[in-house]
Structures are given as structure tokens and as C-alpha cells.
Amino acid sequence: QVQPEESGGGLVQPGGSLRLSCTAPGFTSNRCGMDWYRQVPGEQRYWVSSIYTDGSTTYTDSVKGRFTISEDEAKDTVYLQMNSLKPEDTAMYYCKTGPRGTWCDGWSDWGQGTQVTVSS
């Protein structure tokens, strides 16, 4: 399995913005989409957003209107633009090919994640 590489996390004040990047070489040529998840230590991992091969996108309710997922196919990279960040957004963010339950779901492994901390 391919291990995605997440980057772009950091420390930001409430109301601030970050753009996360997820690179998984070959995922676009394999006609897979990409999902973003986040996890707080000791808690389960939650789905945040998805982008599909047709360019459509979905978001969990808590981030709608604040987060935007996008893709640069040439770079095999997916981005998660996060605006109006809240302390509750603090988590380790991961990406993984999808959709869930498909061959694409198994194409990539979990990466190391990138830490997002929202604090004043």
C-alpha cells in the first residue's frame, strides 16, 4: 500500500486559517478519490471531507462552510483549506484514498498525519 504524506499543519489562533496538503503518488491515475479524517489522541478517527473522481465534494456538518477540499491532479495532491478554525478542530489530520469500502479505500495506507492545533 502507498502511504500518503500529509503536511501543512501547525499552530493557529481561533478564526485563523491553514491549508493542508496530501500527496499520494499515483492515486489520480488509479482513478481514486481522497478522504480527509481527523483524530484526537485516545479517541476514534472521524471522517471530515471527501473529493471524488468527478470533482464532487462532501463535508461533515461541523466543517461545512469553513473547509474546502480541492485537488491538483498533476501533482497527485489534495488540499484541505481550513478557514475560521475553532479549538474543536484541533486534531491530527490524515488522508486516505477512497471512497470507503471500495478498491480505492485499500489502495493507500494511513500516513503519519499532520497536527493542527487551534489555540489562543
Per-residue pLDDT of the chain (120 residues; tens, 9 = 90+): 899 999 999 999 999 999 999 999 999 999 999 999 999 999 999 999 999 999 999 999 999 999 999 999 999 999 999 999 999 999 999 999 999 999 999 999 999 999 999 999
CA dist 2 and 110 (Å) reads 8
CA dist 40 and 59 (Å) reads 18
Cβ contact 85:19 at 8 Å:
no
